[in-house]
Amino acid sequence: MKNFEVLNFKNKMMQTNKKRVALVTGANTGVGFQIAKALIKNNYTVFVGARNLENGINAASQLGNNAIAVELDVTKQKTISAAFEKIQKQFGKLDLLVNNAGISHAGKPGRTVEEVVASNRPSIASLDETRTVWETNVFGVVAVIQAFIPLLKNAEQARIVNVSSGMGSLTLNLNPEFPYRFGFDVVYGASKTALNAVTVAFAIELENYNIKVNAVSPSYTATALNNFQGTDTVEEGAKEPIRVALDESGVTGQFTGPNQEVYPW
């Protein structure tokens, strides 16, 4: 390779390394899509994770040239590994991982929030449904983080953002005045509590590698998660997750909600 070709290659590699790269799971719709959109506006290259690749491709086409669709089902290690290899090959690092993919139940689709809450009461909740929800909301997050730690370590200021819920706060749910405590269950609510614990565990381990790990709750947003019964639009609901995703201040081990409120674990 001639000298000018070597120089050109090195310049391209330097430019690639300077680009900020993010992966957002469940990014083809809802809050995840809004996060991806905001990151792209802030000069990130965003891998749009989607269980269905076609849905990911459609979302990426809406987001523009800096969006790359990637098949990623957090409950399937094969797709996690393939996504890792794709990002490793193209960029060799990951600046930001947003674990947004989540489900609220695994029962009959189209049910109202009230119907889901009634069926998920701790005394009668289906263990099969509980396991299915936890596979996505808890174990899937652990699997994705474990897989991408090598690429996060290659970034200068890597961050992990876990999209949780105020429903996961034990302190809030023990307060009789908390308006959503009636819905705390062993299926969805407790899965978010477990996710918060996972967040703290990774924050403690990864602080030695300068990788920041935080949890964030959207507002009560109208998405498929609640059969579109939420009170806020996805644009409104995604504001705090977007803020946390873009935050490069160095904060770690924090749990926040709408209007930057710091939630108790």
pLDDT digits (tens, 9 = 90+) for 41-94: 999 999 999 999 999 999 999 999 999 999 999 999 999 999 999 999 999 999
Band of residue 221 on the pLDDT scale cut at 50, 70, 90: low
Neighbours of 207 (CB within 10 A): 13
**Residue 174 structure tokens:** 């023990």
Tens of pLDDT, residues 113-143: 788 888 889 999 999 999 999 999 999 999 9
What is the spatial order of strands in the sheet that 255-257 belongs to?
Answer: 67-71, 44-50, 20-24, 96-99, 159-163, 212-216, 255-257, 261-262
Neighbours of 253 (CB within 10 A): 16
What 3-state class would DSSP assign to 179? coil
Q: Can you give the pLDDT at residue 6?
A: 47
Residue 231 has pLDDT above 80, yes or no: no
Contact (CB, 8 A) for 121 and 187:
no
Distance in angstroms (rounded) separating the CA atoms of residues 45 and 60:
11
**Residue 207 structure tokens:** 């602080």
Tell me the pLDDT of the chain averaged across its residues: 90
Contact (CB, 8 A) for 216 and 35:
no
Q: Can you give the pLDDT at residue 107?
A: 67
Domain 20-262 sits in CATH at 3.40.50.720
Q: Which of 183, 202, 147 is nearest to 25 (CA)?
A: 147
Q: Can you give the pLDDT at residue 80?
A: 98
Q: What angle is formed at CA 235 by the lines to CA 214 and CA 26, rounded to 5 degrees?
A: 55
Q: Which of 239, 240, 237, 190 is nearest to 215 (CA)?
A: 240
Distance in angstroms (rounded) separating the CA atoms of residues 164 and 190:
11
Q: Can you give the pLDDT at residue 82?
A: 98
Q: Which of 253, 243, 125 is nearest to 264 (CA)?
A: 253
Tens of pLDDT, residues 182-209: 889 999 999 999 999 999 999 999 999 9
Q: Which of 171, 255, 243, 178 is nearest to 213 (CA)?
A: 255
Q: Can you give the pLDDT at residue 37?
A: 97
Identity of residue 243: R
Identity of residue 182: F
Residue 145 has pLDDT above 90, yes or no: yes
Higher pLDDT, 199 or 7: 199
Domain spans in the chain, listed from the N-terminal domain onward: 20-262
Pairing of strands 96-99, 261-262: unpaired
